[in-house]
Amino acid sequence: MATKQEIMDAATKLGKLIADNPVGQKLEDAIKKLESDLDAQRAMNDYQRVIQALSEKEAAGQPIEVEEKQKLQTLQNAVMHNLTLQQFQIAQMDYLDLMREVDQVVSAQSTGQQAVSDAAQPAPAASPLINPNMM
């Protein structure tokens, strides 16, 4: 029977393997690039701020004005066309896909079930950066 410490040691080793994997490296590189790109940060922050304000307005039953919709569209375009944000989103989705696969294998092993085949994998997470029609 495995001890808690053995499980934690294996988890630490797994974390290091993931960090050394090309998917982990790609995400780390994308994060560093995003941290150094003030335009990308500003675009994302402005976009999130407007989304939050419009969500609150909608929840309060207040109408959303045409100018607000236009501002949202402009910010959404800025976010979608920012290369740094595109690269970050792709790296993040690839990383999440890897984590989902790892979780399925770990869960299957811990419950004694067979791992789910690739054909039965869920679709990657949707994103307004990739699909502007989500809004």
pLDDT digits (tens, 9 = 90+) for 71-99: 999 999 999 999 999 999 999 999 999 99
> Could you read off the pLDDT of 6-25 as tens digits, one per residue?
999 999 999 999 999 999 99
Single-letter residue type at 116: V
Separation CA 24–CA 91 (nearest Å): 8
CA dihedral 89, 95, 97, 101 (to 10 degrees): -170
Query: CATH topology for 22-134?
Result: YheA-like fold (1.20.1500)
Measured at the CA of 128, the angle between CA 92 and CA 63, to 5 degrees, comes to 145
Domain extents in the chain? 22-134
7, 8, 94, 95, 133 from 1: Cα distances, Å: 10, 14, 34, 31, 50
This prediction has a pTM of 0.71
* Cβ–Cβ under 8 Å, residues 77 and 98: no
